Chain A
Amino acid sequence: MLESLRKYVSGYVALTDEEFRLLADKIIVRSFDRREQLLRIGEVEKYMNFVVQGLARMYFCKGKAELITNIAGEGELLSSSASFLSGTPSHYCIETLEPTTLLSITRDHLDEIYQQSVRIERLGRLLTTQFVMQKEEWEYECIRLDARERFTRFMERNPALVTRVPQKYLASYLNMKPETFSRLKSQLGKRPATGKLFAK
C-alpha cells in the first residue's frame, strides 16, 4: 500500500528510504464502506488522506442542492484541505462513493516530521502549491469555459470516472444541470476526443 504513496511523493521530491520512513511511521490506514461520511460540515478536518483504493466526493449544501467541489479516486489526495491547514471548521463534507481505503496522517504528525526533514517540508510546500494551482485553474475554467467545453475537458482527463460516478454528481461537479450533462454525453460522448478544440 505504501508503494503507491511513495510513487506519488516521488513526483514531487526524491526522498531517501530513511526520509520516507519518517513519513510512513506516522501513517495510519483507514477503511470505509460505500456512502460513509468521512467528515461533516462544521467539523475540523484532522487528516490529510491519500486514496489507495476507492472513490469519494466532497460537497456542500446550498439550500436543498448539494454542490460537489471535488471527486477523488486512487492515487489522489483527499481532504478538506483549507480546514486541515487552518484548523477551522470545514465548509464541506466528504462522503465515499465506493468502499475506500485511505492512508492518513494528522496535522500534528506532519508538523513533527517537517521539523525533522527539510525535504519533507519541501514536499509539503510543493503539495500546498499544487492545492493553490488546482483551485486557481478550476476558477479559471469555470469562468472561461462554457458547459460544453467543461464537459469535454473533464472527459479527456478523467475517462474512467464516467462509469464510476453517478451522473448527477458529475453534473454537479461540472456546474451544469443533469439534463445538460446527459445531452452533452449523448452528443459528444461517442466521438473520439481530438483535444485540438481546447488548445490554449
Chain B
Amino acid sequence: MSNSKSPYAAALDELHRYFARFTPLSKQEFNEFLTYIEVREFGKKCIVIPAGEVERYVNVVAWGLVRKYLPVRNRELTIQIATEGHIIHSDISFHYRTPSNCIIETIEPTVFFSITYENLQEAYDRFPKAERLGRLLLSDLFVKKDTRYFDQLRKDTRERFLDYVRNHAEMLQRVPQKYIASYLNIKPETFSRLKHLTRKS
C-alpha cells in the first residue's frame, strides 16, 4: 500500500464503504460496530477452520487470499475463492452450530476482520440498523450464490471458463490453476487447454 494510511485503516475504510452500499452508516455507527470485530492474522497455507469444528466466525478478508473446499472421496472440491473485501466462513456450521463439513485454508498470508456468533447476535440486538445491513447483505449473497449455481447448471465448460477469465483476470495470477479448475468444475487438463486457446486469440 503506497498511501500514508496504515493498511488496517485502509482496509477498514473499504469495509465501511462496503457496508454503506447496503445502508447508510455514519463514521460513529461504524466505529461502534467495530468494537465487536476481531483482527485475525494467518500465514500462507494455514487452516482457518478444519472439518469437524464448529465455525465461530464470519470473516471479511482485509487482505490476502483464501479458499473453501469440501473433502470428497480423496479429492478436494473448491467451492469458494475469496480475496480482499469478500466474506468467507463455514456458513452452515456457523448458522446451525454444527461441525463444519468444509475446510477453509489460506493461499496467501491473510488478515481477516472477524465477528463471533455471539457478538453478531448482540450487534443485531443492539443496533436496529444491523438488521437492515444483515438482511441486505444476505440478499446480495443469496443472489450471487444463485447466479453461480445457475451458471454451473446451464453453462458449458468453455463458457464458465471464459466468464471467469473475463471477470477475474487477476485471480489467474494469484490462485493455483488447480483450485480455479476445481471451483469451475473443470478438469485441470481441460483448464490448461482452454487457457492456451485464450492466449492465442
Contact = CB atoms under 8 A, between A and B. Distances in A.
Nearest to B139: A85
Contact of B91 (A62, A124, A125, A133): A133
A132 B77 contact: no
A67 interface: yes
A131 B142 contact: yes
B26 to A, nearest CB: 18
Interface residues of B, number: 30
A128 B128 CA distance: 17
A47 to B, nearest CB: 16
B143 A85 contact: yes
B138 A140 contact: no
B101 A128 contact: no
Interface string A64-106: 0001000000000000011001101001000000000000000
Nearest to A126: B135
B139 A128 contact: yes
B41 interface: no
A14 to B, nearest CB: 14
A121 B95 contact: no
A135 B132 contact: no
B153 A67 contact: yes
Contact of A144 (B72, B138, B141): B72
Given A137-B92, A200-B101, A125 B138 contact: yes
Contacts of A62: 153-154
Interface string A134-159: 01110110011000000000000000
A62 B149 CA distance: 14
A85 B142 contact: yes
B147 interface: yes
Interface string B64-75: 000000101000
A122 B131 contact: yes
B146 A143 contact: no
Nearest to B134: A125
Contacts of A81: 142, 146
A141 to B, nearest CB: 10
Nearest to A138: B149
A137 B142 CA distance: 13
B101 A121 contact: no
From B99, B101, B146, name the one whose CB has the most chain A CB atoms within 10 angstroms.
B146
A139 B141 contact: no
14 contacts: A60-B150, A60-B154, A85-B143, A91-B146, A121-B135, A122-B124, A129-B95, A135-B142, A136-B91, A136-B145, A139-B149, A143-B77, A143-B79, A200-B98
